[in-house]
Amino acid sequence: MKVTDYESIVGKDVVYELGLISKKLKNKKVQCINSTKQGGGVAEILSRVIPLLNDLGVTTTWDVIEAEPEFYNITKAFHNALHGSSVTITQSMFDKFIAIGEGIKKRTNIYGDIVFIHDPQPIMLIDKKSKNKWIWRCHVDVSSPNMEVWEFLKRFIDRYDISVFSSPNFARQLEIPQFLVTPSIDPFSEKNRELTQEEIDGVLEKYEIAKDKPIITQVSRFDYLKDPVGVIEAYRLVKKYVDCQLILAGNRAADDPEMDLVLADIREKKGNDPDIHVLLIEPEKNDLDINAIQRASNVVIQKSIREGFAITVTEALWKEKPVVASAVGGIPQQIRHRHSGLLCHTVGGAALMIRELLNNPEYAKRLGRNGKEHIRRNFLSTRHLRDYLLLFLAIDKTEDIIYL
């Protein structure tokens, strides 16, 4: 895709502005680094935004760190702890993180004028800082973190030039400037493009999903923080009044070792219910399948306990779907309650709202229309590009940056 292709959705003025800003960055090389090429919102965003930055003439590359499985067990524990979950964190875990991080530093070549580090896994690369500029991007909800883990990471974060968060609620006291950049979706990606009814029906047939009863869907990584068991409980409350079916569709991320445990709990909770479909769908390879499942759904749910932003909510709203989602993380930035979706706090509340939408399809359509327009204005790739371009320009003048 080229940036000019987005004119049909966001208008010529938006695209023209991106071209003007990018001209000031043509001599800069941006190096993005994270922990996985597939699975999760970070990899998905980078896979769409980086080609567009290059199309604008801003040389941007993407490197992925390599580490042994033990490292990802530790960073998953850190991830859960940063989200405020009750997790046992030991000194040996901190020591091992540092020891493995030393190996990551040796194996990782740093060459960017601007080095853009995503989340905690590659955070120690800051030790290789020279005359270039460094950004640390936090994609998780750190509004109520385990302070031991946060203080450990903060030692590294404060050595970056600037930090970036997805919500004002996530900002914390730091020695460096903080920026707000919300995630986005690409309307032309395989996961979000328009589909024909034939394409949608073909995917439903592929996964043996009937079209004769309403579909409730949650798309997310199989993660305890996404509360898939709670989704099944909400579905069963709805099922007492409306004959419906549930789809839990997720993927496997290379840096998440916990998924098999989550899947085991889901399948135990599912039991022999033929109307609960648990689908393990590979990212990128089967993005069209996710697209079709969301478009076929009558209601999309995202019952997260904690959430960074929830790109899956953005995707569903873009497809004009009525969404019931937990009022956590970046979700309230996307959903204005009873205008562009419904916000819930409990399993029972989620069930009541799903029933309301299934019983009032006109109301559900109105929420869907409002939701799509909100996403068009605020959460598409072009807005994300603008934010990043301005961020790259600002980092050369960090002394003039105003703190959040």
Dump the DSSP string for 197-243. Answer: HHHHHHHHHHTT--SSS-EEEEES-S-GGG-HHHHHHHHHHHHTTS-
- DSSP letter (8 states) at residue 148: H
Angle CA(185)–CA(188)–CA(189) in degrees, nearest 5? 70
Domains of the chain: 3-184+380-400 (3.40.50.2000), 197-378 (3.40.50.2000)
Q: Kindly tell me the number of DSSP H helices and DSSP E strands found in the chain.
A: 15, 12
pLDDT for the residue numbered 275? 98
Give CA 134 to chain center in angstroms.
22
- Work out the number of other CB atoms within 10 angstroms of the CB of residue 131: 5
β-strands 162-165, 215-219 pairing:
unpaired
Q: What pLDDT, on the 0 to 100 scale, is given for residue 282?
A: 80
Integer CA distances (angstroms), 262 to 141, 201, 403, in order: 20, 29, 39
Residue 400 pLDDT: 46
Q: Which residues pair with 246 in a beta bridge?
A: 216, 276
> Which residue is it, tokens 């030039």?
161
Residue 308 has a pLDDT of 85
338: left (phi over 0), alpha (psi -120 to 50) or beta: left
CA–CA distance, 275 with 197 (Å, rounded to integer): 22
Q: Between helices 311-318 and 287-296, what is the axis angle to 10°?
A: 60
Q: Which residues, at least 6 apart from 166, have a Cβ–Cβ distance to it below 8 Å? A: 138, 139, 180, 181, 182, 183, 308, 309, 329, 330
Q: Cα angle at 243 between 240 and 248, to 5 degrees? A: 95
Burial of 216-240, coded b for 16+ CB within 10 Å and e otherwise, reads bbbbbbbbbbbbbbbbbbbbeebbe
Contact 309, 139 (CB under 8 A): yes
Look at residue 1 in the predicted model and tell me its pLDDT.
Answer: 83
Amino acid, single-letter form, for residue 365: K
> Residue-wise pLDDT tens for the chain (404 aa)?
899 999 999 999 999 999 999 999 988 999 999 999 877 789 989 999 999 999 999 999 999 999 999 999 999 999 999 998 889 999 999 999 999 999 999 999 999 999 999 999 999 999 999 999 999 999 989 999 999 999 999 999 999 999 999 988 888 899 999 999 999 999 999 999 999 999 999 999 999 999 999 999 999 989 999 999 999 999 999 999 999 999 999 976 666 778 889 999 999 999 999 999 999 988 667 899 999 999 999 999 999 999 989 999 999 999 999 999 999 989 999 999 999 999 999 999 999 999 999 999 999 999 999 999 999 999 999 999 999 999 999 997 654 444 43
Q: What is the pTM of this model?
A: 0.90
